[in-house]
Amino acid sequence: MDRYDDRENVGSSTRAVMKLTDTERRILDLLKENPAATQNELAAEIGLSNSGVRYAMARLKEKGLIDRIGSHRNGGWRLNILEKR
């Protein structure tokens, strides 16, 4: 599973790294593979309730890690993350 640096100031000695739950990490991994995935599809893949996925995705949006692009019916998710190497 990939690790994520949620905020990184390249060229600076300071880095702010947000803590992510396992659920948030799994959602990010799945959205990386399929940005058009629905919350229902994510819930089925992860084995969580729809409301659990909705809550985790709301937290990811609050942290600025994902954005919704396009309409609810035909849109997708954009990931705003820097991956650790």
Task: Single out the residue of 16, 10, 60 nearest to residue 39, CA to CA.
Answer: 60
Left, alpha or beta for 70 (phi > 0: left; psi -120 to 50: alpha)?
Answer: left
For residue 56, how far is the Cα from the chain centroid?
8
Q: Does residue 10 fall inside a structural domain?
A: no
Residue 11 lies in a domain: no
CB atoms within 10 A of CB 80: 14
Residue 5 lies in a domain: no
Overall domain count for the chain: 1
For residue 63, give its domain range.
Answer: 20-83
Domain of residue 48, CATH code = 1.10.10.10
Per residue in 11-68, pLDDT tens? 433 344 578 999 999 999 999 999 999 999 999 999 999 999 999 999 999 999 999 9
35 lies in a domain? yes
- Cβ pair 28, 65 in contact under 8 A: yes
pTM value? 0.74
> Does some domain include residue 46?
yes
